[in-house]
Structure 1
């Protein structure tokens, strides 16, 4: 059994239309969302043997803000392949993990993270959490999957159960969707 946690970067700033997508930082709501999720992860007792992350600015800032709120820094393994990856690329990256970590936290982007959930968790109607992901996997969402594998090279479609899914708005309604009248 392996554990894979997925953490989508927090809300990013779109105010500079000239900024490259890769270089967009977090906005104020994103900073707050990352901090709220960092405290949630800490309070939930989640622990990870490895942290794999996209090197995009908004991911790095999400990790920084969440780690500060968590009160614990982590050595991060930056991998540019996570940025703009397909689900297949993320699975390949996980298959290549060296050593035998029991748990991995991957911090990255959509649509690849939600697509990875769709590929790993069977679409058989037995997972209400998977159904929630089908509706939306918003920024700063944290998901935990239990994989029925003994080694990371064995990861494949339909090998997981989605056991936890938490969105920032679940913890602070002010971090929910902005409704326009």
Structure 2
């Protein structure tokens, strides 16, 4: 019998496009900060706090993580900055927690989410994976090294607008 592991695949919250520094250094805007706070509350309220975090090295992903206000070991990984789906899956295969949060970017996260699940959630925004979008995917396996495309079942999918409008 396989164990159960969960991946929380979160796109960073809304960033500030008026910022004129390099893309990697772009911060969150006010809406992004509110969204990240709401996502942190949602993780706590839904009992989905991770026991490990893998995070892109960009400023906006780091700020998103900081505002989630969670207590879990974090690994910042350069390969998650604008990562292709294969890089995200490779990072996941190196994870150790049973509930892992990965914070990164589109377009890679949109494609990663679509490729990981057997069937897409019915949520109307799953296909475009807006900022702050978070998929909770359930894997029946004992070790992340065995993760492959199409083996996860979606348990939840949320976008910050739903949390802020609630």
Identify unmatched segments of 5+ residues in structure 1.
Answer: 175-181
1:109 aligns with 2:105: yes
**3-state SS in 1 of match to 2:64:** helix
Measure, in 1, the Cα distance between the counterparts of 2:148 and 2:10: 20
Structure index of larger Rg? 1
The total of aligned residue pairs comes to: 163
Gaps of 5+ in 2: none
1:1-181 correspondence to structure 2 within 5 Å: 1-16=4-19, 18-67=20-69, 72-97=70-95, 100-123=96-119, 127-129=121-123, 132-134=125-127, 136-173=128-165
State the TM-score, normalizing by the size of structure 1. 0.83
CA deviations 1:131-167 (Å, max 9, x no partner) are: 6411x21111221000132211111111001110111
Report deviation, 1:47. 2.4
Runs of 4+ in 1 over 2 A off after TM superposition: 72-75
Q: 1:121–1:161: 8 Å Cα contact kept in structure 2?
A: yes
